Structure 1
Amino acid sequence: MDTNEGLSIYPLHRCKTLHLVRHAQGVHNVAGEKNHEAYKSCDYFDAQLSPLGWKQVDHLRAHVQACGLSKKIELVISSPLLRTMQTAAGVFGGEAHTDGIDAPPLMKENVGHSEHAAISSLNSPPFIAIELCRERLGLNPCDKRRSIHEYRDMFPAIDFSLIESDEDILWTPGIREKDEQVAGRGLKFLKWLWTRKEKEIAIVCHSAFLLQALSAFGNDCRPTVKSEICTHFANCELRSLVIVDRGLIGSDKSTTNYPGKIPHGLGLPSDTADEKNTGNGPSQ
């Protein structure tokens, strides 16, 4: 008889908390709502946030600060595209950057012709850019990135050292990445997360990537729970999930577990003591 009523218990050190964010509205989203063919236009190469997108960023930033999330996040990971890094910096970065601050800006002013003020890296978690969490590759110019040396100038405090090629060698003009390829890349990304020591991580990326990466999960849950995991993200939507290392992929040892009985002394639980006195306990 199953008595756990759908509950599960896992050791804390085998879990990470992921705060998944889809980028705010980009100018390509605006054009694509009117005509889907606009996504194929070179006018939207590495599309930046729209004015409404920046308002969405401001609203999400206010939310993560009000609920205390901004103080918990140990690392921010972003896809290396303009709209995701603008969103990441705007939501999780420091306050407006001013001259004289002894920290490089996360984002310089007017990046992507946004007329947005520079954003400071002061008192913010570290930011890194990762290729694995990019949007579906190929065909649409809005999903092609710029050179890394251009991004380094725009986002001085973001770490691009894990990206091997300066130019975008992953995007191809005539071939669109298939669902199963995006899903495979997503699983590879999630496994890579276990190489990180951080336990609470914000990830800013893309709709198709998130949907395909999460599609392999939730099959052992009730439909309501699965729908919380495996549905499309709205622009600037945040979902907080826990990922569990069931297969011992890379969990570190616990930093909070304690062995007990220090200093050593008698400490038999009463049930065990009763079993030993009655002779019904297991042999030692």
Structure 2
Amino acid sequence: MEVLVLLCYHYNAVRHAQGIHNVEGEKNPNAYLSPELFDAHLTPLGWDQVDNLRRHVIACGLAKKIDLVITSPLLRTMQTAVGVFGGEAFVDGVKGKPLMVENAGNSGRRAISSLDGLPFVAVEACREHLGVHPCDRRRTIKEYQTLFPAVDFSLIESNEDTLWEPNVREPNEEVAIRGMKFINWLLTRRETEIAVITHSGFLFHTLNKFGKDFHPLIKDEICKHFGNCELRSMVIVDKSLLSFGTDRTNFPGRIPRGLDLPSDIAHDKHPNAISDQ
């Protein structure tokens, strides 16, 4: 008697918490062109959002189920990743490297422990919409390794950011293609309960590739933009995104509520204003 076994991957997608670029971009979309927002870090409100999501994933039991954390290699995503899924405060003299050193990226936070042994892996493929906006440009990997010692950067080939271009914005379709390749890569992993901390534009364009045959209400739910620090749990079966997770693990984000205009929405709403700069 043949038994059909479907391997399910639980994909817990998280948009980073509020960054300084979200605040400035909400006030003026042209702020996304500012070099001062290079590799934007979290705001104090963003860290409050991280704390609230951390409490949620612990309370609903998701924190104990996660066996891999994938993060985009930008400051705001790595801060969110280690803040939500990392250990408690790091204590000097304890064996092992911290996930994040004290005050990394002007966080004002204590160092975060990696004692729980959960792997954190930085992956270029889930970065935000590439090009033009300095907030989406990364630092060197060597710099990040000093700030996030226990994060695994071995899958990133170049120390320098060779993907971001100052005058060329990655087309939406290319973001979606990159996202689909990333999803296919996730399916090669042995882990089946994965948290991915990434960006609004990346999630929006990637998830819009799914759900063409779904009921409009389901498709709308899948494809709408994420709020800051929002978590959506999904299930991937046989390379198809079939359903959302339960309300028990989903988290609405924006707690506390703050300005969170994504750079890709600002670009779409004000293309002329931004391109004229």
Tell me whether the two structures share a fold, i.e. TM-score over 0.5.
Answer: yes
Match runs of 1:1-284 below 5 Å: 13-246=6-239
- Report the Cα offset of residue 64 of structure 1: 0.2
SS, match of residue 112 in structure 1: coil
- Report the Cα offset of residue 114 of structure 1: 1.4
Q: Pick the structure with greater CA Rg.
A: 1
Name the CA distance, whole Å, in 2 between partners of 1:193 and 1:113.
Answer: 32
Name the CA distance, whole Å, in 2 between partners of 1:186 and 1:55.
Answer: 29
- Report the Cα offset of residue 150 of structure 1: 0.3
- Residue range with higher mean Cα deviation, 118-127 or 143-152: 118-127
Contact 1:92–1:124 (8 Å) recurs in 2: no
Aligned CA distance change for structure 1 residues 12 and 223 (closer, same or farther; 3 Å): farther
Name the CA distance, whole Å, in 1 between partners of 2:49 and 2:168.
Answer: 32
Contact 2:15–2:200 (8 Å) recurs in 1: yes
Name the CA distance, whole Å, in 1 between partners of 2:95 and 2:239.
Answer: 43
Name the CA distance, whole Å, in 1 between partners of 2:52 and 2:162.
Answer: 35
Which one-letter code corresponds to 2:80 in the other structure? Answer: T
Unmatched 5+ stretches in structure 2: 241-277
- Report the Cα offset of residue 215 of structure 1: 0.5
Name the CA distance, whole Å, in 2 between partners of 1:43 and 1:164.
Answer: 26
Name the CA distance, whole Å, in 2 between partners of 1:11 and 1:85.
Answer: 38
Q: Which has the higher contact order (CA 8 A, sep 6+)?
A: 2
Contact 2:184–2:239 (8 Å) recurs in 1: no
- Report the Cα offset of residue 135 of structure 1: 0.1
Name the CA distance, whole Å, in 2 between partners of 1:234 and 1:213.
Answer: 16
The Cα offsets for residues 190-211 of structure 1, whole Å up to 9 and x where unpaired, read as: 0111111000000000000000
Name the CA distance, whole Å, in 2 between partners of 1:246 and 1:51.
Answer: 38
List 4+ stretches of structure 1 deviating above 4 A: 10-13
CA RMSD of aligned residues (A): 1.3
Name the CA distance, whole Å, in 1 between partners of 2:238 and 2:132.
Answer: 35
Equivalent position of 2:245 in the other structure = none
Which one-letter code corresponds to 1:238 in the other structure? Answer: L
SS, match of residue 99 in structure 2: strand
- Report the Cα offset of residue 14 of structure 1: 2.5
The Cα offsets for residues 23-42 of structure 1, whole Å up to 9 and x where unpaired, read as: 00000101011000000000
Aligned CA distance change for structure 1 residues 50 and 214 (closer, same or farther; 3 Å): same
Aligned CA distance change for structure 1 residues 208 and 17 (closer, same or farther; 3 Å): same
Equivalent position of 1:278 in the other structure = none
